[in-house]
Amino acid sequence: MNFDALIDCFSASACVVTQISSGLIIGMLIFMVASGVTLIFGVLGVVNFAHGALYMLGAYFALTAYWVTDSFTVAVLAGAIGTGLFGVVFERLFISRVYGADVLSQLLVCYAFVLILDDAVKAIWGGDFLSMGMPEAFALPPLMIAGGFVPPFYAFLTAFAVASAIALAALLGLTRFGKIVRAAAVNRQMVGVLGINTSLVYALIFGLGAALAGAAGALAAPVRSATPGMGFDILIESFIVTVIGGMGSIAGAFVGAILIGMIRAFGTVGFPLATEGVTFAMMAVVLLVKPAGLFGKAGR
Amino acid sequence: MTARLELILGAVFAAVLIAIGLSLGDKAVIDVLMRLSIFSLLALSLNILVGYTGLVSFGHAMFFGFGAYVFGLLMQTNAISIPAAAAVTLLATCVWGAVSGALCIRLTEIYFSFLTLAFQMLLYSVIAGWVSLTGGDQGLMGGIPRPPFLGIDLAQPRQLFVLTVIVSVLSALAIRQIVQSPFGYALRMIRDNAERARFLGVPVQRYKLQAFVLSGIFGSLAGILMSLYVSGAYPNFAFWTLSGDAIIMIVLGGITVFLGPVLGAVLFQFLNDYINRITEHHGMVMGVVLLVIVLGLRKGVLDVLDEWRQSRKPRPEAAP
């Protein structure tokens, strides 16, 4: 514990800006994974335990695309679309078999894929830490905000995640597809009776969630190194975020992710050994006071 | 089966295991039997939650690691005998199980699974991060002293082997008593229909918490035996992959039959060794095996046998 350092940090705007910016990218990456988890749960009623593995796939797809084309745009697209397509196939072939099955079967099918994908990535890309390095487009001098340095990539990552949050909200809230999805979440059979191909809707939603995770993995590639099993920590964090924010709530995932990001960022200054404890304490408080989560609907 | 018959069967089983281990006298045989005893106990303790209460814990290694580390740290003070340290460890497990369990059982279904997993990773990060106490990645340094007590010297591999088998079999009998008691049948009712159980006056949340703590105590005991066996404790005792392994064990053997987890633990060990021998892609093979069991068989080995046995009977028995 070093609260003096924390107080010093809060009294200097430069330190606050730096920590907020690093907290934001931590939070935004978690959000992109968590929003997929919460979307899939909200509509399909399945918690995708393999979602962290999809984040990992996104990072490796992006790395390969970046090495081949040297373009970060292509890398992000490869991460998102590649993982999204994988998600659609995964849903059709495996997840669709355990809808309505017991929790154990759902969990184990996903767990089997965590084992398979981690091992496959190790076999294809090797077990070492791989790093993309900062793409040329972002090799710029850091932005100065109130005396603090913010790398341009951090600003880009945050903007990207916020834009995808808005796009997701608009897709679900304003479009016809969104209406169908929300209806299918309430009563799949009824939607099917109305002549809508709900299998397709389910596959698309799973693919969309997977694409979000893949994009997060691609965006993480320049700032974190890729390694088999890298998806596990972010899976746990995104789960904590969905508990805090409320299961099935995208807005809750957003707020929860920022909270966790800030705790992590300022925690490294003030209480590096206890950040995880503080995160858990916060989750415990939410569970005790408002078990449905900050934005969750009771009885869900 | 009556309790007395089970006790006799358990004693015979333990005697046979010990006789095999000691008469062959081979270190490798004793090692395998010790591991199988310890992992059987771990799987049996997990099945109190998964099979009988319907709570799929994905963080059971938390108790295994907790037991191993608390016990190891207590023994390293050199101020306490082995039974006393074990008793203190189990008491601490009760407290930790009650605190973490009180939060975990507030959630149901897969959220329960994730929360147990999250608690386990909290313990793991404490173990890995608190290097000055736990030795971090290196594990508890310097080994665990095993001073003799009551004429038993656990530094002797043979004596440790006998004790491990006896403790495991006694624990299995105790777990059998628990799940065959009215309390155990109340747990099954909670598993099958929690609302009806509540309606009939079963204090559902309290029973779930008690099941959680009991399961934790036996998991912790398995951890204590493990730390005695390897004379140390390592962070991977509390890592999530061990929780995953424990789940695979009970699913392999079958969750609806009492001895399913034991068979599963044995199958898992041999499968694991076999996969490691034939390929370096352990995860892929194990993942495919898991998919075949979950999507193909949809149940474990003993579940299948039990259904076959019941289908040959004119009248179905009550669920075990």
Contact A123 B56 (CB under 8 A): no
- Assign A298 a pLDDT band (cuts: 50, 70, 90): low
d(CA B307, CA A173): 49
Smallest CA–CA separation between A93 and chain B, in Å?
Answer: 11
> What is the DSSP secondary-structure string of B239-268?
SHHHHHHHHHHHHHH-SSSTTHHHHHHHHH
Condensed to tens digits (0 to 9), the pLDDT of residues A156-211 reads 899 999 999 999 989 988 999 888 888 888 888 888 888 888 889 899 999 999 99
DSSP B232: S
Coil, strand or helix: which one is B60? coil
Residues of A contacting chain B (CB within 8 angstroms): 47, 49, 94, 97-98, 103-109, 111-116, 118-120, 122-123, 232, 236, 239-240, 243, 247, 273, 276-277, 280, 283-284, 287-288, 291
Contact B282 A108 (CB under 8 A): no
* Closest CB from B111, B117, B291 relative to A109: B291
Taking the model in full, what pTM does it have? 0.84
C-beta of residue A178 within 8 angstroms of C-beta of residue A226 = no
Residues of B in Cβ contact (< 8 Å) with A300: none
Condensed to tens digits (0 to 9), the pLDDT of residues A120-158 reads 999 898 888 888 877 777 777 777 777 777 888 888 899
* Closest CB from A111, A119, A247 relative to B284: A119
Share of chain A above pLDDT 90, in %: 28
d(CA A48, CA B244): 16
Contact A104 B56 (CB under 8 A): yes
Domain ranges within chain A, ordered by starting residue: 3-9+16-289
Residues B117-122: what's their mean pLDDT?
83
Residues B146-160: what's their mean pLDDT?
76
Confidence at residue B317, expressed as pLDDT on a 0 to 100 scale: 53
Smallest CA–CA separation between B19 and chain A, in Å?
Answer: 38
Residues of B in Cβ contact (< 8 Å) with A115: 244, 283-284, 286-287, 290
Judged against a pLDDT cut of 90, whether residue A82 lies above it is answered with yes
Give me B120's structure tokens: 């386990």
Contact A236 B121 (CB under 8 A): yes
Condensed to tens digits (0 to 9), the pLDDT of residues B248-299 reads 888 888 877 888 888 888 888 888 888 888 878 888 888 888 888 888 776 6
Structural class in CATH, domain A3-9+16-289:
mainly alpha
Residues of B in Cβ contact (< 8 Å) with A239: 114, 117-118
Smallest CA–CA separation between B48 and chain A, in Å?
Answer: 14
d(CA B243, CA B63): 10
Residues of A in Cβ contact (< 8 Å) with B240: 232
Higher pLDDT, B29 or B214: B214
Domain ranges within chain B, ordered by starting residue: 3-239
Contact B106 A105 (CB under 8 A): no
Which residue in this structure is represented by tokens 């740290």? B73
Give me A134's structure tokens: 């900062």
3-state secondary structure chain A: CCHHHHHHHHHCHHHHHHHHHHHHHHHHHHHHHHHHHHHHHHHHCCCCCCHHHHHHHHHHHHHHHHHHHCCHHHHHHHHHHHHHHHHHHHHHHCHHHHCCCCHHHHHHHHHHHHHHHHHHHHHHHCCCCECCCCCHHHCCCCEEECCEEECHHHHHHHHHHHHHHHHHHHHHHHCHHHHHHHHHHHCHHHHHHCCCCHHHHHHHHHHHHHHHHHHHHHHHCCCCCECCCCHHHHHHHHHHHHHHHCCCCHHHHHHHHHHHHHHHHHHHHHCHHHHHHHHHHHHHHHHHHCCCCCCCCCCC
Residues of A in Cβ contact (< 8 Å) with B122: 276-277, 280
- Assign B320 a pLDDT band (cuts: 50, 70, 90): low
- Assign A215 a pLDDT band (cuts: 50, 70, 90): very high
Confidence at residue A299, expressed as pLDDT on a 0 to 100 scale: 44
Condensed to tens digits (0 to 9), the pLDDT of residues A24-37 reads 999 999 999 999 99
Report B:133-192 residues touching A (Cβ under 8 A): none
DSSP B181: S
